[in-house]
Structure formats: structure tokens, C-alpha cells
Homo-oligomer: A and B are copies of this chain.
Amino acid sequence: MRILIGNHIDPSIRERGDMRAWTQRLLWFARPGDLLVLCCEPDNAFCDYVLAHTGVKRSELTILVAPAGAWGDRLLDPASLTDPAFVKTVRAALDTVGGATGVSEVFALWPSASVSHFAASLGIADRFPGAAFFAQGGGEIGNNKANFRALAAAAGVPILPGRVCRSRAEAVNATRELLASSGSGAVVVKQAHNGAGVGNQLLVRDPQLAVDHVGARHLHHLAPGEDGITAYWDQRWTWASGGGRWPVVIETFAPGADAVYSEHYATDTGTQPTEMGRLFYVGRRLSHQVVPLDRVSDRVRAALLDGGTRLAEAYRAFGYRGHLSADALVLPDQSVVFTEVNAQVSGSLHIYQQIAHRVVDVAATPRRQVVEYHVPPTWAVPDFTAFLTALDETGLAYDPATRTGVIVSMPAIPLAPGAPAQFVFCIAYDPATGYEDTFARLGERFQTLPATAIDASVHVGHAPVSFSS
């Protein structure tokens, strides 16, 4: 059996707010015998729903809730994992299945030092791959977009022209130089620690530039000349650097690119590719992703695999162990450039490893694909039950016989009483048919706002939520 930890990036690095729903995707990974640690009581309806798809019985799992720490039950407090009473509870739970020696692996959504300490407190640090590295804060090294650029450059993996800046003055210089040499007259500013484009801001000189499909939640039209650059950084350096905490990445913007990724798994002995996929941004907001990767040439696929493998090996070389995702862009000339590595359990692993390969078995005949959608900000879904009811009424629920249909990936916990639910859901589909019709039929049911009503840079809901890493 394994211990699965439903944590998220350490709040001391980036405090994400309410992650109760997103971290419960942990349930997709559960296998009979596993012990799960969550920050909150599991959503029973969602738990039953997931286990009905994976075929695991609730009685075959032990689900423990870590003691409420600084964030209540909204987010797992890393310190709670080594709370003496909690460690005692875990030990007692393990004793019923033969003790800690029976644990084959400690698996965590984020490679926190606290997981190393937790494993050590149980005497099973060796079951958490990379425990010694992560115990000393290695998780942060592998999840920093500035470090990525240096590591990728050293590994000879293609990246876009860009700079890593540690001061406002450096940012002004870098912006000026990159704008001058960029064909698009645009650059992307990236926070070192953020995800799904929420920490990215696109700076454009030309208001007509097509940017709707870009993974940069924020958009800024630069005023002309040096003043426009200086004014931007006067206003945004604090945001971009997290109050001076992190280096800031500035890259030239590549218009008309497709966003793809290659995921890998690193062990003590090597790395192996696990899956590739494609991300779609709509209104500069992460909209959906498709696995396995389709509609690319063999050359693009080979370049993505090659660069992803070299990055995985580079991250392995400095100590990282576990799953990692190498994000890339396919440029209009079909070259592949890499944009970041997320050295953690990504927002894709549950889709391809569990839903696509385990539940749907996409590689079987007839072949299937899986797309995972974020509920668009233009929809209003009252709650989980309403969504399942709609699936039943429309016949869109996942059908094991056809291996097509909708599977909800995470619980729908309203962020405020009466607020619409935000969550993600998968559509398993026949590649010949596509997923657009299914999505459109759900839209007919739930869309209440026109797309133009949404400002991409504003979070929907009452709290800043981004589900992805």
C-alpha cells in the first residue's frame, strides 16, 4: 500500500487560498489499501463518484484529515503532517495493515520538505523518492521558472530569447532589449512561482496583436517608448517579483504558437516519458487540455520528446525525483521551444494516468482521447448534483460500454454560498467525432453570460482560484 498526500505548493512559497477541491483529485490516484491524507473531510459525493469509476471500494481506503493548521481545512498546513498526534494516528492506521514497513511509496502532489519529515517520522524516508533532496527545500528549486531557464540553457534545450531579472532596473533593460529584437513587439513577464498562466503578463506594443489563445492571464498595452516600459515596471515589479522574493522572467512573445507538454518520471536510475498533451487557452485563460497529444507531425513529436527527456534528465541530475511536466510551444515554423518545467504532480497527471489510461483505456480499440475542461467563467453550474443530473438527462455521462462521455475530475465546492461552482471535467471521445459537440451541449445548458462579459485578468469567483499547478 501507499500513502498519498493531498498537499499543494508550500504556502510559505506561494499561498494559494482554498485548495480543498483541487487537492481531492488525489482520490483518482487511490488504489486498494492506500492511505490518503487530505486537508479536509472528503466530499462524499465526489469520493463515491471517483471510486465508482476506478473500481476501488471506499472500505479499501484509509482517508485521514490532517489537523487544521494556519489555513484551517482549506489548505494542508505542511507543519500538520508532523504534528505528533497526527503521526500517532497514521501509525495506528498503518498498524492495522501490518505497520509502516508495508508502505511501498509515499506520493505527494507537491514535493514538500514536510513530506520528507513526515516520512522520516514514520521511519520510511526511503519510500519517498528524493526525500533527502526535498527535505532541504529541493521542491522550490525544481519549480522556479527562472531556474528553469538557466537549467534548460545549460542542457542545450531550446528556449525563447529572454532574461532573468533580479531588480526593476534589470527588468527595464531586458524589456527594452527584448522588445527591440522581438518580431512581435511583445514580451511575456512571468512570476517565478505560479501556474496556468495566472502569473504571466503579456506586454504588447500593438493593441491589434492576436493574444486570445495565449497563456498569460494579464495583458498590458505598453505606452510608446522608454517611458512606457518604465511606467510598466514602476507599477508591476512588486507583483512580478512577489514583493522582491523571486527573480522575474521576461521572454519574447511568440505569436501563433500552440501550447503542448511532455511529462516524465524521474527515478534514482533514470527517467521515462509518461505522456504528452496539448493545452488550449481561450480569453488567455486555460480552457482545456487534450491527451494523448494528437495533430502534430512526427518531427514535432520527436522534438518535444527529445527536449522533455533532456530536461527530465537535467532535473534528475540535480536531485529531483518523481513526476515532472515540461511545457513547450510549437511555433508556426514547427520548431519546439520549452517554456517551463513543473517538477511536481501536474494538473495533467490525473487526466492521462488515471482517467485516460486507467478508466477509459484510451489506447484500446477503438482508440479514444480525453479532453479536460475548466467550467468556463461564462457558465453557472449550481452544484455537483445539478451537473450530474444534467449529464444523466442529456445522456452525456461517461458510458463504459462506448468509453465516451463526461467524467467530473474534481469536487464542485462553491467558494461562497450561492456562488456558481468552478471545477474541471473530462470528456472521453472518439477522435473521429471530437469533443466539441458534447461541450456545446453542456454549454447550452449552463452558459449564462456572453464570452465578452469576462475580463481575462480577473479571477472568477470570490477567491483567486487556479486549479492547475
Binding site for B on A (CB under 8 A): 10-13, 70, 78-79, 113, 130, 132-138, 140-141, 146-147, 149-156, 159, 162-167, 169-170, 173, 243-245, 247, 314, 317-319
Q: Known contacts A113-B163, A153-B136; is A70 also within 8 Å of B169 by CB? A: yes
Q: How far is the CB of A165 from chain B (nearest CB, A)?
A: 8
Interchain residue pairs A-B with the least CB separation, the first 4 = A154-B319, A137-B164, A12-B166, A12-B167
A166 to B246 Cα, complex, angstroms: 12
Q: Is the interface of A mostly helix, strand, loop or mixed?
A: helix
13 of the cross-chain contacts (CB-CB < 8 Å) are: A10-B166, A11-B167, A133-B154, A134-B150, A136-B150, A136-B152, A136-B159, A138-B153, A140-B166, A141-B151, A155-B319, A243-B244, A244-B245
Residues of B with C-beta under 8 A to A149: 136-137
Q: Please determine whether A247 and B319 come into contact, CB atoms closer than 8 angstroms.
A: no
Residues of B with C-beta under 8 A to A162: 136
Residues of B with C-beta under 8 A to A146: 136-137
Q: Which residue of the partner chain, among B79, B138, B150, B319, contacts A133 with CB atoms under 8 Å?
A: B150
Residues of B with C-beta under 8 A to A12: 165-167, 169-170
Residues of B with C-beta under 8 A to A156: 132
Q: Which residue of the partner chain, among B138, B153, B317, contacts A150 with CB atoms under 8 Å?
A: B138
Residues of B with C-beta under 8 A to A154: 130, 132-133, 138, 318-319
Q: Which residue of B lies closest to A172 (CB)?
A: B79
Q: How far is the CB of A266 from chain B (nearest CB, A)?
A: 11
Q: Known contacts A137-B247, A163-B113; is A153 also within 8 Å of B169 by CB? A: no
A318 to B156 Cα, complex, angstroms: 11
Q: Please determine whether A137 and B150 come into contact, CB atoms closer than 8 angstroms.
A: yes
Q: How far is the CB of A280 from chain B (nearest CB, A)?
A: 28
Q: Which residue of B lies closest to A247 (CB)?
A: B137
Q: Please determine whether B79 and A169 come into contact, CB atoms closer than 8 angstroms.
A: yes
Known interface pairs A137-B164, A137-B247; 20 further A-B residue pairs with C-beta atoms within 8 A, sorted by A's residue number: A10-B166, A11-B167, A13-B166, A113-B163, A132-B154, A133-B151, A136-B149, A136-B152, A136-B162, A136-B163, A137-B150, A138-B150, A138-B153, A140-B166, A150-B319, A151-B318, A154-B319, A314-B317, A317-B317, A317-B318
Q: Which residue of B lies closest to A134 (CB)?
A: B150
Residues of B with C-beta under 8 A to A314: 317-319
A280 to B138 Cα, complex, angstroms: 31
Q: How far is the CB of A251 from chain B (nearest CB, A)?
A: 11
A261 to B311 Cα, complex, angstroms: 32
Q: A134, A137, A141, A146: which has the most chain B beta carbons within 10 Å? A: A137
Q: Please determine whether B245 and A151 come into contact, CB atoms closer than 8 angstroms.
A: no
A13 to B170 Cα, complex, angstroms: 11
Q: Which residue of B lies closest to A319 (CB)?
A: B154
Q: Which residue of B lies closest to A15 (CB)?
A: B167
Residues of B with C-beta under 8 A to A170: 12, 78-79
Q: Known contacts A140-B247, A147-B141; is A153 also within 8 Å of B135 by CB? A: yes
Residues of B with C-beta under 8 A to A134: 150
Residues of B with C-beta under 8 A to A150: 133-134, 136-138, 141, 319
A319 to B377 Cα, complex, angstroms: 42
A213 to B195 Cα, complex, angstroms: 46
A137 to B144 Cα, complex, angstroms: 12
Residues of B with C-beta under 8 A to A155: 319
Residues of B with C-beta under 8 A to A244: 243-245
A170 to B140 Cα, complex, angstroms: 15
A166 to B162 Cα, complex, angstroms: 27
A281 to B15 Cα, complex, angstroms: 41
Q: How far is the CB of A114 from chain B (nearest CB, A)?
A: 9
A141 to B314 Cα, complex, angstroms: 14
Q: Which residue of B lies closest to A317 (CB)?
A: B317
Residues of B with C-beta under 8 A to A164: 113, 136-137
Q: How far is the CB of A232 from chain B (nearest CB, A)?
A: 18
A374 to B15 Cα, complex, angstroms: 45
Residues of B with C-beta under 8 A to A138: 150-151, 153-154
Q: Which residue of B lies closest to A171 (CB)?
A: B12
A153 to B244 Cα, complex, angstroms: 28
A10 to B314 Cα, complex, angstroms: 26
Q: Which residue of B lies closest to A315 (CB)?
A: B318
Residues of B with C-beta under 8 A to A140: 166, 247
A70 to B169 Cα, complex, angstroms: 10
